[in-house]
């Protein structure tokens, strides 16, 4: 192919849920022989970035070490409890209080500024939560594609009642977990969610933080047009969303938005690892449990999930991806049910979800997991963790592909077993999941995303 030689610079936060789709997209461009690819993120991801080039190399540009306040993986236990509490507004407020600090972006902005000076990108591909990168692109007038691993309404709906929004008035506000068809009480709750978000920035503690924004913007030289929640949408050349319209509630989608479905690499992703795949080959029905890199299960929650496996014994096998740090809560090996297989790490979750023996995905319903499970036609049982997970959970129920635990903050074995049994045993859940699998595949995935990037006028 006639490969563009002008630099393309990817920018992402280091969290797996934000980074992984962009790794797939960068690898697709590399495999097509596109030259001059760069990827900027935090230093701990260096080896992963340098290893993704299947064709042309992908060069790493370091943004330094992880800033603890900017990474949910490194938050202390008190903050974790606050952002995952059962009150959706209080959890939303806790996230904002912990992350909205203009000073946090200064180091990343400066590091990216140095990388941009060195690379001279013709086009940037920016993960949607890397707002410092959006600000730099707008300030430097560098064309950019916005990468969105959430539902489209997540980035198009304002969190306050007085700001620009691309969705209609009364649309469920992100992080509220409210449905499209609301009762009067829910409509009031939706309105109050926005008003309370606005009011929190008027409180003295947050007002002091916000007051630092202007001087820091002036110090960094950030352009005025980079201000505001919708600046990333308004200024983007293209907005790539790894979903399909049918998996969100209806609203007019902006013309610049391309919904391409989940970004899935060529499979098998880990062809040399046969240990888990060989085990899956020998099973008839497997429940796959995985709750993402942020979830921190307690002793009681771990023991509750072991009891769930025990009650499924004789009917279903259970494959559980459980981080090693949380395995201390497991009972001794000899006291675990025989149908339970624990893995601290899997070479490829996608290979697992693609396996025909997996009948249901028990998940926290993060943006990637939700869409990837459905990409492979797997119905879901959902234990939503926080923020957008509640939004995916309510849509999954409304669209007939999932059931949600009655009390996600706990693990009630009776409730979990009931939900798993109903989803596996009711054919409509699988049929609806397979319907959305077909829609996502038709949307084009990584190939369509790569085509959209390469169609940028900045590369011509």
Domain total in the chain = 2
Q: Quick one: pLDDT band at residue 1, thresholds 50, 70, 90?
A: very low
- Structure pTM? 0.95
Determine the pLDDT at residue 346.
93
| Domain co-membership, 20 together with 44 | yes
3 lies in a domain?
no
1 lies in a domain?
no
Contact criterion met (CB below 8 Å) for 167 and 251: yes
266 lies in a domain?
no
Q: Quick one: pLDDT band at residue 317, thresholds 50, 70, 90?
A: very high
341 lies in a domain?
yes
List, for residues 149-175, the tens digit of each pLDDT value: 999 999 999 999 999 999 999 999 999
| Domain co-membership, 330 together with 455 | no
What average pLDDT does range 306-316 have in this prediction? 98
CATH code of the domain covering residue 319: 3.40.50.2000
| Domain co-membership, 249 together with 300 | no
Read off the tokens for 133.
Answer: 């990168």
What is the rounded CA–CA span in Å between residue 21 and residue 366? 13
Contact criterion met (CB below 8 Å) for 388 and 241: no
| Domain co-membership, 389 together with 450 | no
Determine the pLDDT at residue 2.
56
| Domain co-membership, 338 together with 249 | no
Contact criterion met (CB below 8 Å) for 176 and 390: yes
Q: How many CB atoms lie within 10 A of CB 413?
A: 17
194 lies in a domain?
yes
**Sign, Cα dihedral of 42, 45, 46, 48:** negative
Which residue range forms the structural domain that includes residue 353?
275-442
pLDDT for residue 63 is more than 70: yes
| Domain co-membership, 285 together with 388 | yes
| Domain co-membership, 435 together with 453 | no
| Domain co-membership, 222 together with 318 | no
| Domain co-membership, 280 together with 251 | no
| Domain co-membership, 233 together with 342 | no
| Domain co-membership, 391 together with 449 | no
List, for residues 327-385, the tens digit of each pLDDT value: 999 999 999 999 999 999 999 999 999 999 999 999 999 999 999 999 999 999 999 99
| Domain co-membership, 291 together with 430 | yes
2 lies in a domain?
no
310 lies in a domain?
yes
Determine the pLDDT at residue 4.
62
């Amino acid at each position: 192919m006639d490969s563009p030689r002008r630099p393309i610079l990817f920018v992402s936060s280091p969290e797996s849920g934000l980074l992984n789709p962009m790794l797939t997209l960068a690898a697709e461009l590399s495999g097509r022989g596109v030259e001059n690819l760069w990827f900027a993120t935090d230093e701990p991801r260096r080896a992963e970035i340098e290893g993704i080039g299947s064709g042309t190399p992908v060069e790493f540009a370091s943004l330094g070490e992880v800033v603890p306040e900017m990474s949910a993986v490194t938050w202390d236990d008190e903050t974790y409890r606050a952002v995952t509490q059962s009150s959706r507004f209080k959890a939303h407020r806790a996230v904002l209080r912990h992350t909205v600090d203009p000073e946090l972006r200064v180091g990343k902005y400066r590091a990216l500024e140095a990388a941009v000076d060195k690379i001279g990108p013709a086009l940037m591909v920016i993960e949607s939560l890397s707002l410092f990168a959006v600000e730099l692109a707008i300030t430097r007038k560098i064309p950019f594609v916005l990468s969105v691993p959430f539902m489209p309404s997540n980035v198009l709906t304002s969190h306050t009642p007085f700001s620009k929004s691309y969705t209609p008035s009364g649309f469920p506000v992100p992080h509220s977990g409210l449905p499209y068809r609301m009762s009067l009480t829910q409509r009031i709750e939706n309105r109050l969610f926005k008003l309370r978000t606005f009011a929190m920035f008027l409180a003295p503690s947050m007002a002091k933080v916000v007051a630092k924004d202007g001087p820091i913007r002036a110090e960094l030289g950030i352009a005025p047009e980079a201000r505001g929640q919708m600046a990333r949408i308004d200024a983007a050349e293209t907005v790539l969303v790894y979903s399909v319209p049918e998996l969100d509630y209806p609203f007019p989608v902006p013309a610049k938005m391309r919904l391409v479905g989940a970004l899935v690499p060529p499979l098998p992703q880990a062809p040399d690892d046969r240990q888990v795949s060989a085990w899956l080959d020998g099973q008839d029905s497997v429940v796959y449990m995985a709750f993402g890199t942020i979830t921190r299960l307690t002793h009681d929650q771990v023991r509750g999930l072991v009891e769930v496996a025990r009650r499924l014994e004789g009917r279903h096998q259970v494959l559980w991806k459980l981080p090693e740090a949380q395995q201390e809560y497991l009972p001794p090996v000899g006291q675990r049910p025989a149908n339970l297989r624990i893995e601290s790490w899997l070479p490829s979750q996608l290979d697992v979800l693609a396996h025909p023996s997996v009948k249901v995905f028990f998940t926290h319903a993060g943006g990637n997991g939700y869409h990837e499970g459905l990409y492979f036609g797997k119905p879901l049982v959902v234990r939503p963790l926080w923020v957008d997970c509640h939004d995916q959970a309510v849509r999954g129920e409304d669209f007939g592909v999932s059931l949600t635990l009655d009390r996600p903050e706990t693990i009630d074995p009776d409730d979990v077993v009931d939900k798993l049994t109903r989803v596996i045993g009711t054919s409509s859940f699988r049929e609806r999941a397979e319907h959305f699998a077909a829609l996502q595949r038709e949307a084009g995935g990584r190939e369509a995303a790569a085509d959209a990037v390469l169609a940028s006028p900045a590369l011509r």
